[in-house]
Amino acid sequence: MSDRLEPVLAGVAAKVASLGLSVAGTALPVRRQKAPIRRQKLDPPAMITVCKSPAPDETSRRRFGLWQTTYAVAVTVAAPYNGADGPTAEYSAIRDAIVDALKAPPLPGAPAVFDLDAQPADWMRPTGETTEYDWLSVEVRATVAHN
Amino acid sequence: MVTLDMLSVYDSMRLRHQSPITVTLTRPRSYVGGAPASVQVAYVQEQAVTQEDVDSPLGGSLDGSRKIFSLWLVECPALPPANDYEITKADGTVWVIKKTETLARGRRFRCHCLARVGTAG
């Protein structure tokens, strides 16, 4: 039984963790999760989650006998809300750092990934005004060739 | 003949709370109102915490705590509460007002608050 997604998720998490990102002087731990969940009494106030994106994967024929699947992975930052007019430079820097690190292969631990792309996704959605969280997301698309 | 001042009756109801607390009410910096302002407010009634999901982005969930505070205008006439003002308790936890109900002919405010992430467990 083949599992192509797990190495992709692990590779993305390892690469994001190696960036050593922080918010307001606090290092952001990187969590592998099923979805971007932050539990009030179990998780740190600020963190990064790496999980399968709800966006559908795409499987197509690459050539005779060979297929390729593009997996969508969500890298999400959740941090305490810093106000409607609070600083955003850290968040924009984090966003670009994640995109730059994941816009091209290789992906550590996932040698089958031959194409990698990262695009900024949700920016401060949901808003801190309603949730007291600052929130941003980057969508990574990793393509694997397989039989 | 005794005339009953209803507003005074409303105001005196704050003294009937079983275990009132004192909080700091803060108006954040605003573009129209200038600098931040804070006042101490006594005879505040607080409700027990409700913990719940406050949003479900990308199929996940964000946890939060809600609490209701009742404040009386007579205790904070210079700075009546409003949405997005902050209530800080003596233990340092910060609660942000998300909905303000005005009751008792404008003498009492029921403030629905959400805990600031990282300040309340």
3-state secondary structure A70-102: EEEEEEEEEEECCCCCCCCHHHHHHHHHHHHHC
pLDDT at A92 > cutoff 80: yes
pLDDT at B121: 61
Residues A22-45, mean pLDDT to the nearest whole number: 94
pLDDT at B8: 83
pLDDT at B3: 66
For B92-117, what is each residue's pLDDT tens digit?
999 999 999 999 889 999 999 999 99
**What's the mean pLDDT when you consider all of chain A?**
94
pLDDT at B56 > cutoff 70: yes
Q: How deeply is B110 buried, as exposed, middle or buried, from its count of CB atoms within 10 A (0-12, 13-18, 19+)?
A: middle
Comparing CB atoms, the residue among B28, B61, B121 nearest residue A37 is B61
Residues A110-134, mean pLDDT to the nearest whole number: 93
Cβ contact A11:A53 at 8 Å: no
The answer to whether A126 contacts B55, with C-beta atoms less than 8 Å apart, is: yes
pLDDT at B39: 96
Residue B2 banded pLDDT, cuts 50, 70, 90: low
Measure the CA–CA gap between A50 and A35, rounded to whole angstroms: 8
Residue B10 banded pLDDT, cuts 50, 70, 90: confident
Q: H or E stretch including A28?
A: none
Residue A47's nearest CA partner among A21, A34, A24, A29 is A29
pLDDT at A70: 97
- Residues 6 or more apart in contact with residue A23 via CB below 8 angstroms: A46, A77, A79, A90, A91, A94
Q: Which two tokens stand for residue B13?
A: 């109801």
The answer to whether A45 contacts B58, with C-beta atoms less than 8 Å apart, is: no
Give how far B29 is from chain A: nearest CA, Å: 9
Residues A132-140, mean pLDDT to the nearest whole number: 96
pLDDT at A60: 93
pLDDT at B32 > cutoff 80: no
Which residue, among B26, B54, B62, would best test binding to A if mutated, counting the most A CBs under 10 Å from its CB? B62
pLDDT at B33 > cutoff 80: no
Residues A11-18, mean pLDDT to the nearest whole number: 97
For residue A24, what is the DSSP state? T
Strands A37-38 and B61-72: parallel
Cβ contact A143:A57 at 8 Å: no
Residue A22's nearest CA partner among A83, A74, A91, A84 is A91
A-B contacts (CB, under 8 Å): 77
Residue B7 banded pLDDT, cuts 50, 70, 90: confident
Contacts of B62 in chain A (CB under 8 A): 37-38, 78, 126, 131, 133, 135
The answer to whether B60 contacts A76, with C-beta atoms less than 8 Å apart, is: yes
Contacts of A125 in chain B (CB under 8 A): 57
Cα three-residue angle B79-B99-B29, rounded to 5 degrees:
45
Q: H or E stretch including A141?
A: strand A133-146
Measure the CA–CA gap between B46 and B62, rounded to whole angstroms: 24
- ipTM > 0.90 for the complex: no
